[in-house]
Structure 1
């Protein structure tokens, strides 16, 4: 009987997740948007340049102006060879912005419309981190990561449960979806108290649910997050940077946040 009850509860929860992820766009109300209509620079009330760090993803971050541009109503973030910044020991430089300390997102649908230009060693990403907890305990939500010139994008979650304990298949930690390499694509995640639902061009790619488990930190995702938009280069996952492919850039047309 206990097994039957558990099965029924899981089935009901699964149906609930499916209904949530298949909700119509008309169910959502646009509550905030960033259209990057400024002509000289991005809005400093929302965005800051990401500082350099020591991880694969941020070890080439720079505030060098050439890594950033506003063009035709789009934010441009670049990865380029360091020819001119003689006091900077990094051979390549990348641009990225985040909303840390300025704009947080919780319980809604977040969408980013962008075109990703390819290069060997290019690793653009859109992702979410919490301000109130260190990694990986607070969780990481990867809305989009793309490698090199791939025609797919990765969407993944990270937490103490997936990273420290290494549980990546119960439930499934991530998935991929097809993208148009030569055009704009819309990457989205729906943030619910009990699940995360991922989309590319309104096609549902996968859902990460909260489950019953005695393991630590399986679903830390019911909290506010800030958004990172960055062009990354090189690292253990994407591989070597081919400088002859640079500069490379991505164009971000808009960011939109909806709530029910």
Structure 2
């Protein structure tokens, strides 16, 4: 057993030193022109690394159905697994007659997790980001890989959606977006690519059963978002200027990463028989 372990370590080091592009034993690939500055391979079973991740809690945004909590994010067998569960329990923040969607629901019907790197791992704009993940495409599912700027409120701080999956006119789509501020509070300008899921499943009928690689190349003039090396969206950063003249994607502010599985809203009506839903992430890697 000891000899086998030593051989595996030596082989892994050899692959790394040769610049191998194979995903072996959680060894990040080399990317020409970039240096790895942070990664999480989710190789230790249990809760996500507290040096990298914290959690959102409760009902958070978009009138979504899920209650975010820590219990639904677990690392197992080299993957982060975010599960969405069907439940029925009292909403601890319930206020009878409240006008807020966060407090006028008497019950929590779904739970899930949103893990974020804010305050722990943040990066100035520009770089190469790569995430390997498998999404649950059941009705009601709304998983995402996204970044938010740390300066100011949304959307003036800037948002990048490396991946979203949800339904448009009841048809499932993969999206790649960026958002920035307008002259109206809480109203964003968007550069969005919306690709029907059928575009991918027609080429591979087993697409939904597999892990896929989302990547983002970000420089001073553009953001390019890819899925399995296919360019989904090319965002011109000369156009992403807030009405106050600030451009969140070219100023030297920091961004943090969010991984979440929302339920309902744009995800569509949940298919109760499909629960629990599972959103799995193999790794996250950031290069500068």
TM range (shorter): 0.7 to 0.9
Distance in 2, matches of 1:150 and 1:33, equals 33
Who is 1:68 aligned against?
Answer: 73
Q: What is the root-mean-square deviation of aligned Cα atoms in Å?
A: 2.8
CA change 1:241–1:137 in 2 (3 A) is same
Tell whether the 8 Å contact from 2:179 to 2:188 is kept in structure 1 after alignment: no
- Structure 2 residues not aligned, in runs of 5+: 1-29, 93-106, 201-206
Give the Å deviation of 1:125.
0.5
Match of residue 181 from structure 1 = 208
The reply on whether 1:50 has 2:56 as its aligned counterpart is yes
In the alignment, structure 1 residue 39 sits paired with structure 2 residue 60: no
Query: Aligned pair count?
Result: 229
Question: TM-score, normalization: structure 2?
Answer: 0.71
Q: Does 1:224 align with 2:224?
A: no
Is structure 2 residue 133 aligned with structure 1 residue 128?
no
Q: Which residue number in structure 2 is paired with residue 234 of structure 1?
A: 264
Question: Which structure is higher in RCO with an 8 Å CA cutoff and minimum separation 6?
Answer: 1
Distance 1:203 1:25, change over 3 A: farther
Normalising by the residue count of structure 1, what TM-score does the alignment of the two structures yield? 0.78
Contact 1:145/1:154, CA 8 A, preserved across alignment: yes
Structure 1 residue 145: Cα displacement: 0.5
Structure richer in strand, relative to its length: 2
Give the CA deviation at 1:78. 1.0
What does residue range 1-260 of structure 1 map to in structure 2 within 5 Å? 25-56=31-62, 60-63=66-69, 65=71, 67-83=72-88, 85-86=89-90, 89-106=107-124, 107-147=126-166, 152-161=173-182, 168=190, 173-177=191-195, 179=200, 180-211=207-238, 216=243, 219-222=247-250, 223-235=253-265, 237-259=266-288
**Is the contact between residue 130 and residue 224 of structure 1 (CA under 8 Å) also seen in structure 2?**
yes
Asked if the contact 2:130–2:213 (Cα under 8 Å) also holds between the matched residues in 1, the reply is yes
CA distance in 1, matches of 2:60, 2:39: 31
3-state SS, counterpart of residue 230 of structure 1? strand
How far apart, in 2, do the equivalents of 1:69 and 1:213 lie?
Answer: 36
Residue 287 of structure 2 aligns to a residue whose secondary structure is strand
Report deviation, 1:58. Answer: 5.9
CA distance in 2, matches of 1:141, 1:156: 6
Give the direction of change, closer, same or farther, for the CA distance of 1:91–1:176 in structure 2 (3 Å limit). Answer: same
